[in-house]
Structures are given as structure tokens and as C-alpha cells.
């Protein structure tokens, strides 16, 4: 008797589609993990390098904000910008607008260096008296021929409070009064 042979012919499985979907899934997953870690690292590095972000807490003066860190607080007008110095520099900040600028550093006695051209344009140099953070400071005002000014204010250290060096610049007397009021709002913590 003839034996019956049954041949079961199945269509060949297409494993290529499965592998393609699996490979696409892995690429998407790897991309999501990469970009998430990239942006998380970037944010962490920015916070470490650029320090604390200026606070936007309102001051007791209308239209002013307070920049506050663990070491100090200082008030500035709302139309000015505030940036803390990078970590490789001394602790401090830069407050600025198109009209003027206030830079300060804690525990870093910086002396200004004027170019020969700037030295020639200095109209006058005079000491001024100013009190900052309940301490008498030594200050020197440089007035230039174009009407602009540059002030260097050095606040001495006291007990557990660090010394502070301020550099102020601006283009006119109104700006000078404004930057001086910014500096007198400085308080050590």
C-alpha cells in the first residue's frame, strides 16, 4: 500500500519586519535616554558654573528686585539685569542696564587697570565717602572728559563678614546716583 506523504508547506516567516520594529524601538529608546541625560547634565552644569539665578523677589522699594544668595543680598531696579559671577571667579555679581553697571566681588581686592587712552581722558580723580553694609568704605571716583564716570569702592572685612570690592560705571550724574543707591543696598549674610 502506498504510503501517504503529507508535505506541509508553510510560508516562510518574515523575521525582517520583527527585527526592524525592534531595532527602531531600540533607536528611539536610546535617543530619548541620550537627550534626557544630555539636557539634565547641561542644566546641572549651568547651575554649577553660573551659580544661583538672581531672585525675583520684590524689594521694599517699588520697581526694584532683590538678588539674594547665601553670602549677600543687593537690590536693583526691575529694568536692570542681574548675573552672578561664574564659579571660577570670586563670589559676586554683575548688575547692569544700558545706562550703567555695578560689578562686585567678595574677598577679592581688584584694582582697576585703565588703558593709556582711558588714562588720558580722566578729567578728575577724587576720594568720596560712602557707607556700605554699616561699614565705612574707601572709594575713588574717576570722572572722564566725555561725562562718564567710574567708581571703585572697597568695603573692609569685619569679624565674620568678607571684604567687598565694587566697580561702578555709567554715563551721567543720574546714573551715578542710581548705581550708588544700588551699592548702599548691599547687605552681607
Per residue in 118-134, pLDDT tens? 999 999 999 999 999 98
Cβ-based neighbours of 63, under 8 Å, separated by 6 or more: 77, 78
Report pLDDT for 87. 65
Whether the pTM exceeds 0.85: the reply is: no
Report pLDDT for 55. 54
Question: CATH second-level architecture of 57-188?
Answer: Sandwich (2.60)
* Cβ atoms of 139 and 154 closer than 8 Å: yes
More confident residue, 21 or 129: 129
The domain segmentation of the chain, as residue ranges, is 13-50, 57-188
Cβ-based neighbours of 130, under 8 Å, separated by 6 or more: 136, 137, 139, 153, 180, 183, 184
Q: What is the pLDDT of residues 147-184, one digit of tens each?
A: 999 999 999 988 888 889 999 999 888 899 999 999 99
Looking at the predicted structure, is the pLDDT value of residue 36 above 90?
A: no
* Cβ atoms of 183 and 69 closer than 8 Å: no
Exposed, middle or buried, 93 (CB in 10 Å: 0-12/13-18/19+)?
buried
CA distance 13 to 111: 79
Amino acid at each position: 500500500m502506498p504510503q501517504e506523504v503529507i508535505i506541509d508547506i508553510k510560508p516562510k516567516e518574515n523575521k525582517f519586519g520583527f527585527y526592524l520594529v525592534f531595532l527602531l524601538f531600540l533607536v528611539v529608546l536610546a535617543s530619548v535616554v541620550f537627550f534626557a541625560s544630555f539636557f539634565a547634565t547641561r542644566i546641572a552644569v549651568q547651575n554649577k558654573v553660573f551659580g544661583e539665578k538672581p531672585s525675583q523677589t520684590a524689594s521694599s522699594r517699588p520697581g526694584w528686585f532683590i538678588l539674594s544668595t547665601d553670602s549677600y543680598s543687593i537690590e536693583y531696579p526691575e529694568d536692570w539685569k542681574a548675573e552672578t559671577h561664574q564659579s571660577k571667579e570670586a563670589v559676586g555679581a554683575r548688575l547692569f542696564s544700558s545706562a550703567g553697571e555695578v560689578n562686585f566681588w567678595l574677598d577679592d581686592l581688584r584694582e582697576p587697570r585703565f588703558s593709556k587712552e582711558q588714562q588720558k581722558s580722566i578729567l578728575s580723580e577724587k576720594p568720596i565717602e560712602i557707607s556700605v553694609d554699616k561699614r565705612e568704605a574707601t572709594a575713588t571716583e574717576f570722572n572722564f572728559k566725555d561725562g562718564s564716570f567710574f567708581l571703585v569702592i572697597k568695603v573692609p572685612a569685619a569679624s565674620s563678614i568678607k571684604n567687598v570690592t565694587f566697580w561702578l560705571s555709567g554715563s551721567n550724574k543720574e546714573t551715578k546716583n542710581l548705581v550708588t543707591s544700588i551699592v548702599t543696598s548691599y547687605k552681607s549674610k
